[in-house]
Amino acid sequence: MAHSKQALKRHRQSEKNRLANKARMSTLKTTMKAVMAAVQTGDKAKAATLAVKACKSIDKAAENNTIHANKAARHKSQVMRAVGAMK
């Protein structure tokens, strides 16, 4: 365990950031799974609506440095390609 005041504060900050990142990643994964499930069922309208929400959660995660910008672009591309490929 940390002993100095600085180290204790850093520990508090890192724990707070870890929980925020965990929540952001959970939301991101949930929205992506929802889009892919809608694509699998063939519901184009629902998939398009969920794709917008997924892109928003992906952008938020990238904005807060939870994920890298390139990973965000890859995920957004994957979601939009899946929705666009629907008949």
Tens-digit pLDDT profile for residues 36-69:
999 999 999 999 999 999 999 999 999 999 999 9
| Sole residue written with tokens 């005041």 | 5
Taking residues 61-85, report their average pLDDT.
Answer: 97
Q: Residue 35's closest CA among 23, 50, 45?
A: 50
What are the residues whose beta carbons fall under 8 Å from the beta carbon of 59, sequence distance 6 or more? 72, 76
Read off the pTM: 0.86
- Centre a 10 Å sphere on the Cβ of residue 7 and count the other Cβ atoms it contains: 11
Measured N-to-C along each axis, helices 5-41 and 69-84 cross at an angle, to the nearest 10 degrees, of 10
Asked whether the predicted pLDDT for residue 6 surpasses 80, the reply is yes
Which CATH architecture best describes the domain 5-84? Up-down Bundle (1.20)
Find the mean pLDDT for residues 25-29. Answer: 97
